[in-house]
Amino acid sequence: MTKKNTKIEKQKPILSVNGLKVHFFTDEGTVKAVEGASFDVLAGRTLGIVEESGCGKSVATRSLLRLVDSPGKIVDGEIIYRGDANKKEINITSLKTSGSDIKSIRGGEISLIFQEPMTSFSPVHTVGNQIIEAIKLHKKLNKDDAKGLTLDWFKRVGMPDPEQRMNQYPWQLSGGQRQRAMIAMALCCDPKIVIADEPTTALDVTTQAQILDLLKELQEENGMSIIFITHDLGVIAEISDDVSVMYLGNIVESASVDEIFHSPKHPYTTGLLNSIPSITNKNRERLPTISGSIPHPHNRPSGCTFRNRCQNPSDDCREGKIEMKLIEVSPGHFVDQCCINCG
């Protein structure tokens, strides 16, 4: 079920997120959407970020491009990018949200594939022209050369009748075709990192498989890193090399995909894995579920945020005395320290 060789050679991450906190300041109070998340992205590998819906994964990854909507704000932490052509480390959190430096990173160095292209593409411009403009901005090509490169990318992503599709509007394309166009836009400027924010959620199963195969094929060709965000563990198993499990704005476990699936340490990870349907369940037993529900970010529990849903919390955990902190339990396998004392 899981993929690839998961043995990791020691290398400096192309992207490091350390202690990231993103808060939304509303009239009802402060919503702590991301609260101390840390993870690394290695060159040429795919990091899968998985959680239940509403736990902050999309906010965390959009922060990498300083795309947090108002009234949200990055209040702490750092995002270190090491893929710059001059080999310089860039702290993205220190860049102005509308400055030229962050604009050159968006789309040029780090790009984003949205969950629903229909709302991401402009409805009043053809998809071809929108990609041409992105190429002209980042690669400094004239219109004819940018058009030729757009056509080339439409062919590479398997777009049927690519010349015709370039001249069509988003609403004239099928869901799979729009997603292929979005992938072409994300990759046309040769980014070092691609963030895929649930890019297969709105697609049928067959098209999902085609898009996943396409991303893996293009990754092998271009050597790019991928951050793949989803709540679907089946997709995580198919495409990821490394996995970070997020809960209520924190990473609670991080390891290779094989370690996560075959040797999970955190009760939340175990709960997610146990809830996967199995064709071998001949007795049609009810699937296990994780008790309770995700607390609202307005009312985050103190200490371990999972303690109110954990089946076997320790006394200190239950009382909120243990702060959340990742510790290494085996080479490359990190888990929140609180769960070590639970069970």
Of residues 6 and 284, the one with the higher pLDDT is 284
Q: State the alpha helices, DSSP H only, in 48-116.
A: 57-62, 100-105
Give per-residue pLDDT as tens, 213-230. Answer: 989 998 998 899 999 999
5 located within any domain: no
Paired residues of 186 in beta bridges: none
Pairing of strands 242-247, 250-256: antiparallel
Q: What CATH number did the domain enclosing 89 receive?
A: 3.40.50.300
In a domain, residue 193? The reply is: no
Residues spanned by the domain of 284:
13-98+230-343
Rounded Cα distance, 128 and 140, in Å: 17
Across the range 255-270, mean pLDDT stands at: 93
Handedness of CA 242, 214, 51, 67 (dihedral sign): positive
Q: What is the DSSP letter of 99?
A: S
236 inside domain: yes
The angle, 0 to 180 degrees and rounded to 10, between the axes of the packed helices 127-139 and 175-187 is 10
- Which residues, other chains included, contact 211 with Cβ-Cβ below 8 Å and sequence gap of 6+? 176, 179, 180, 183, 199, 200, 203
165 inside domain:
no
Token pair 């320790």 is found at 314
Three-state secondary-structure class, residue 237: helix
Instruction: Please tell me whether the overall predicted TM-score, pTM, comes out greater than 0.85 for this model.
Output: yes
Least confident range from 5-9, 57-61, 176-180, 281-285: namely: 5-9
Report the C-alpha gap between 53 and 281 in whole angstroms. Answer: 26
What pLDDT was estimated at residue 154?
93
The Cα 255–Cα 269 span in angstroms is 11
Over residues 120-166, the pLDDT tens digits come to 899 999 999 999 999 998 888 999 999 999 999 999 888 999 999 99
Task: Quote the number of domains for the chain.
Answer: 1
- The verdict on residue 49 lying in a domain is yes
Is residue 274 a part of any domain in this protein?
A: yes
CA dist 52 → 64, 203, 230 (Å): 20, 19, 9
Helix (DSSP H) and strand (DSSP E) numbers for the chain: 11, 12
Residue 109 located in a structural domain: no
Distance, in Å, from the CA atom of 276 to the CA atom of 156, rounded to the nearest integer, reads: 34
Measured CA to CA, the distance from residue 196 to residue 217 in angstroms comes to: 15
Q: What is the pLDDT of residues 31-84, one digit of tens each?
A: 888 989 999 999 999 999 998 776 677 888 889 999 888 899 999 999 999 986
Peptide bond into 267 cis (omega under 30): no
How far is it, in rounded angstroms, from Cα 39 to Cα 41?
A: 7
| Residue 213: inside a domain | no
